[in-house]
Amino acid sequence: MMDDKEVCIFKFRSSSHSEDYTLIATYQATEEAGKAKAALDKLLQDMEEHPESYDTDWSPEEAQVSTAGNQVTFVVYSAGYLDDVESVVNKAANPEKVECYTNYQELTVTVKVPKGLTPETAMLVLDKEEAEAIKWFKEKIGAPKIAEGEDGEQTYEWFYSGDEIYWDGCLSTGFEFNVDEKENWAVEE
Amino acid sequence: MTSKTDNTAQNSAKELLIEIARVILKELQEREETVRKIVTNLAISEVEYKKAITAEVIKDVAVEARYAFPPCANCTPDIVKNNALRALQRKLSRDQRIYGAT
């Protein structure tokens, strides 16, 4: 029973704040990625022509759609209103996988360590936070690419792509690691 | 820790969403011709399409369903059902326009 109380219905936003969302759909073939791209272009056109049919916090001209080989990438600044986009990439063609990232980053992370050390032994020798960061990259990405350097050094290298983990000189790898303060560490965006 | 009332509301919301899914699937059966035309231009089967669009509708009304029962009862189950049917219509129209079915 409602009595004579005022009834208010709130529809909550997907998130309290907006971020750059990057949705990457990977297909078996380039042709399938092309079909998905064409369908996404149609979706954006339809959003322009029928804005009343969509519940989004972004306008079609703010979105970017691109293809590279068998991948389609969709980028937009939003609080997570991507249901229609996900619907299209999953239906227009059969994706092998669809990944969604916030503030997508591609980073090359390198760390110089004494020659001959394996990542496992380096984790015992280096600072605790360096060891934790190496452990994080090993778990997330796998074994590093190892390059022999001069002066008895070698370099571990990881290529990272995914949610934003690097800003203001710090890596967010389960804890805040001020990587810019470490001479043997480097991060390239 | 959730109270007994919260659990009852959650169960009622779950039952409502199951009922809505049945209504949506029935509605899609009645619009078989529209679905068939849309699916012609898709990479998925009719069955997969029906499942996908039902899941989209359920996602749209899941929060409302949660608040359609005491102690909140901000709306009624009938309102949620009607909103689900409106969402279905909106999504079918969208897909008809995008995938070229008329």
Q: What whole-number distance in Å separates Cα of residue B55 and Cα of residue B53?
A: 5
pLDDT of residue B2: 57
Q: Which two tokens stand for residue A13?
A: 């936003």
Determine whether the interchain pair B67/A8 forms a contact, defined as Cβ–Cβ distance below 8 Å.
no
- CA distance, residue B20 to nearest chain A CA (Å): 19
- Give the type of residue at A47: M
pLDDT of residue B3: 66
Residue A128 scores a pLDDT above 70: yes
Nearest CA in chain B to A7: B74
What mean pLDDT do residues A147-154 have?
Answer: 84
User: Is A111 exposed, middle or buried (CB count within 10 Å of its CB: 0-12, 13-18, 19+)?
Assistant: buried
**Which residues of B fall within a CB distance of 8 Å from A93?**
43
Summarize pLDDT for B25-50 with one digit per residue, the tens. Answer: 999 999 999 999 999 989 889 999 99
Q: Which two tokens stand for residue A54?
A: 């969509």
- Count Cβ–Cβ pairs < 8 Å, chain A vs chain B: 52
Whether B91 has its CB under 8 Å from any CB of chain A: the answer is: yes
pTM passes above 0.90: no
Q: Which domain holds residue B56?
A: 4-98
Residue ranges of chain B with per-residue pLDDT less than 50: 102
Which of B75, B95, B97 shows the shortest C-beta gap to A9? Answer: B75
What mean pLDDT do residues A169-189 have?
Answer: 92
- CA distance, residue A163 to nearest chain B CA (Å): 24
Q: Which two tokens stand for residue A184?
A: 């043997």
Distance from chain centroid for Cα A25: 12
Q: What whole-number distance in Å separates Cα of residue A30 and Cα of residue A33?
A: 5
pLDDT of residue A1: 43
- Give the type of residue at A164: E
Determine whether the interchain pair A53/B94 forms a contact, defined as Cβ–Cβ distance below 8 Å.
yes
Nearest CA in chain A to B91: A53
ipTM: 0.79
Could you tell me the pLDDT band of residue A18, with boundaries at 50, 70 and 90?
confident
Summarize pLDDT for A32-89 with one digit per residue, the tens. Answer: 999 999 999 999 999 999 998 898 999 999 999 999 999 999 999 999 999 999 999 9
How many domains are there within chain B? 1
Determine whether the interchain pair B67/A9 forms a contact, defined as Cβ–Cβ distance below 8 Å.
yes
> In order of start, what are the domains of chain A with their CATH numbers?
19-102 (3.30.70.120), 105-188 (no CATH)
Whether B55 has its CB under 8 Å from any CB of chain A: the answer is: no
